[in-house]
Amino acid sequence: MSINNLFNNSVKRHENSIIVYKDITRYTYSQLRDRVKNLSSSLVKMGVKKGDVVAIADWDSNRYLEMYFAVPMIGATLMTCNIRLSKDQKIYTLNHCEAKHLFVNSDFEEEIKNDKGMLPIVLNYIICDDNNPHDDQYESLITSEDKDFSFPDIDEDSVATLFYTSGTTGLPKGFFFTHRQLVLHTLALSCSLGSNKCGQRLHNEDVYLPLTPMFHVHAWGLPYVATMMGLKQVYTGKYCAKSICKLIAAEGVTFTHSVPTLLCMVLDEAELEHVDLSNLKVLVGGASLNPPLLNRALSHGIDVWSGYGMSETGPVIAVNKMKQGILPDFRCHAGEPIPFVNIEIDSDTDLNDEQQLVGEITVVAPWLTPNYFKDNDNTKKLWKNGRLHTGDIGYIHENGSLVITDRKKDLIKSGGEWLSPNELENRALDIESIREAAFIAWPNERWGERPIAFVVPQDSTPHDEIKNRVNKHFIELTEQGKISKFAIPDLIVIVDKLPKTSVGKTDKKNLIKQLEKEMNDEY
């Protein structure tokens, strides 16, 4: 059960399916097979051996797709470098995983050249250049054909890929997946996405374009699924809402997956340029799909729904399956476990109410990362009693779907009561003049912690007026008995935008730092 088997079988069955990269290149799966074989052969000639780590720092591209296969298929490990990390974090991750060969987009060439002295283990640098074909070292590897080359036998339990978290708490943590794990995840995800009757499904005539980075857990594993199903695949390069909308229209894209932030950007562009998105299906994850964004997407005719997972879980472990007669807001639920996944709620908390068993979400599945790479301390926190602890708080709805309420570390405890930042953020988004909102916990001598609200205006409404609206709205909610009086924010901070992690989540650690700086400057 290896990547080799998945790839060879898929390209043989779907020889005429198409791969598209921006307006630069277009070729068939048959050509994809030849390109992957030539790349693998060139890697071996370069000195890549079984167990070596080969890293790639690139935008989403056909190159990335080819590396997904070519590197693991010779028994090496593909490290997908998170290009949105800081310079020091990127250097740390490349050294920590002992990458010996680095494929790098020319956009990052100067930075990498300046860092060479800090990357003593890297032996080879291969430049990927869209703008100057004659300088594209990657393509020169592809054109080097060895008719005698054959792929080696691969142990299904050998490590295929390696990735690092975005590192919002401490240094980035590395985790890995074997050939067997990736194939099992691919099979389970394709089964789940292809089995629903009422929309929210992936079928063999879909045109696929990923809108979650390929450096982030194999773009949720969907490129493997798309290849297995023989879908036409479209890759965007550097994310730009204008070029994304053009590709969706030109190539007839029907299926994508996205974090809420990028979906919002695409909707902005579509509304500005009158782009028809009514044939699009969007699986949303990485952060909660909030009702205002859901309704906005639905108004465009988009079939939008939620999934759930985390980097350490491969990542997808749950996908929403809408049934006839279900209210639209249920699309925001994280969904039902996909095949082979067991999800339970750890009741060892004081979060439960009279109606729901609320607690930390724990999971068991055959493709979960067994441990953090060279990090026993954090592994012990991740795995307890044979179950992976996600750090997410949630409950199982009566319809069987998983509902995520918060990150455990983001919860606010004020006056002895637990407050859900996610709920407060959704309440704030009910105010028309607010585009985004984030709530953080702030230390308080009397109450333990108090909520602080950061809001991004939707329009040019004066800041004082926005603060008044937020305050009035939350007071009314307490009077209506919908939220606790402790949920009224002590402070409302107006910002132009919310800081994001490399995978599009609100970076609350950064918000806390911003507030600490403002407090220090003030006093």
CA 494, chain centre distance (Å): 27
CA 390, chain centre distance (Å): 15
Choosing from 59, 305, 418, 442, which is the catalytic residue?
418
Q: Are residues 122 and 255 in the same domain?
A: yes
User: Is residue 357, in this structure, part of any structural domain at all?
Assistant: yes
**Domain tally, the chain:** 3
Q: What is the mean pLDDT of residues 198-226?
A: 94
- The residue among 261, 289, 319 that closes a domain is 319
User: For residue 214, what are the domain limits?
Assistant: 3-319
Q: For the chain, what is the mean pLDDT?
A: 92
User: 3-state DSSP helix/strand/coil percent for the chain, to nearest 5?
Assistant: 35, 25, 35
Q: Are residues 210 and 276 in the same domain?
A: yes
| pLDDT of res. 324 | 61
Q: What is the mean pLDDT of residues 118-123?
A: 92
Q: Are residues 363 and 475 in the same domain?
A: no
User: Is residue 325, in this structure, part of any structural domain at all?
Assistant: no
Q: Are residues 279 and 239 in the same domain?
A: yes
| pLDDT of res. 193 | 94
In which element (H, E) is residue 185 found? Answer: helix 179-193
Residues 33-80 pLDDT 10s = 999 999 999 999 999 999 999 999 999 999 999 999 999 999 999 999
Least confident of 170-179, 362-371, 412-421, 506-515: 412-421
User: Is residue 333, in this structure, part of any structural domain at all?
Assistant: no
| pLDDT of res. 81 | 96
Choosing from 312, 360, 425, 436, which is the catalytic residue?
312
Q: Is 418 a catalytic residue?
A: yes
Q: What is the mean pLDDT of residues 106-124?
A: 86
Return the number of other C-beta atoms located less than 10 Å from residue 295's C-beta: 13
Q: Are residues 512 and 390 in the same domain?
A: no
pLDDT at 349 over 60: no
Q: Are residues 380 and 516 in the same domain?
A: no
Percent of the chain surpassing pLDDT 90: 71
CATH number (domain holding residue 419):
3.30.300.30
pLDDT at 416 over 80: no
Residues 89-99 pLDDT 10s = 899 999 999 99
User: Is residue 428, in this structure, part of any structural domain at all?
Assistant: yes
Q: Are residues 450 and 475 in the same domain?
A: yes
User: Is residue 312, in this structure, part of any structural domain at all?
Assistant: yes
User: Is residue 331, in this structure, part of any structural domain at all?
Assistant: no
Asked if 296 and 267 count as a contact pair (C-beta separation under 8 A), the reply is yes
Q: What is the mean pLDDT of residues 320-344?
A: 86
Q: How confident is the model at residue 327 (pLDDT cuts 50, 70, 90)?
A: confident
Least confident of 209-223, 309-323, 341-355: 341-355
| pLDDT of res. 355 | 65
Q: What is the mean pLDDT of residues 102-121?
A: 87
Residues 379-400 pLDDT 10s = 998 999 999 999 999 999 988 8
Determine the Cα angle at 518 with ends 515 and 523, to 5°: 125
Q: How confident is the model at residue 326 (pLDDT cuts 50, 70, 90)?
A: low
| pLDDT of res. 109 | 84
CATH number (domain holding residue 362):
2.30.38.10
The token pair at 267 is: 């909707």
- The residue among 387, 407, 427 that closes a domain is 407
Q: Is 413 a catalytic residue?
A: yes
CATH number (domain holding residue 13):
3.40.50.12780
Q: Are residues 466 and 346 in the same domain?
A: no
Asked if 403 and 397 count as a contact pair (C-beta separation under 8 A), the reply is yes
User: Is residue 335, in this structure, part of any structural domain at all?
Assistant: no
| pLDDT of res. 196 | 78
Choosing from 238, 413, 500, 509, which is the catalytic residue?
413
- The residue among 267, 284, 319 that closes a domain is 319
Question: What sign does the CA torsion over 176, 180, 185, 190 have?
Answer: positive
pLDDT at 169 over 70: no
pLDDT at 325 over 80: no
| pLDDT of res. 354 | 58
In 339-460, beta strands by DSSP E: 342-346, 359-364, 383-384, 387-396, 402-407, 412-414, 417-419, 434-444, 448-457
Q: What is the mean pLDDT of residues 401-417?
A: 86
Q: Please state, in angstroms and as integers, the Cα–Cα distance from residue 198 to each residue in 266, 323, 365, following that order.
A: 25, 6, 27
Q: Are residues 237 and 134 in the same domain?
A: yes
Percent of the chain surpassing pLDDT 70: 96
Q: Are residues 117 and 240 in the same domain?
A: yes
Say how far apart CA 453 and CA 488 lie, in whole Å: 9
Q: Are residues 398 and 426 in the same domain?
A: no
| pLDDT of res. 183 | 98
Q: Are residues 291 and 369 in the same domain?
A: no
CA 178, chain centre distance (Å): 19
| pLDDT of res. 128 | 95
In which element (H, E) is residue 53 found? Answer: strand 53-57
In terms of Cα–Cα distance, which of 407, 375, 413, 380 is closest to 391? Answer: 407
Helices (H), ranges, 2-102: 3-13, 29-46, 62-70, 87-96
User: Is residue 326, in this structure, part of any structural domain at all?
Assistant: no
Determine phi and psi for 338, rounding to 5 degrees.
-80, 170
Q: Is 312 a catalytic residue?
A: yes
Choosing from 80, 165, 178, 227, which is the catalytic residue?
165
The token pair at 315 is: 């990542």
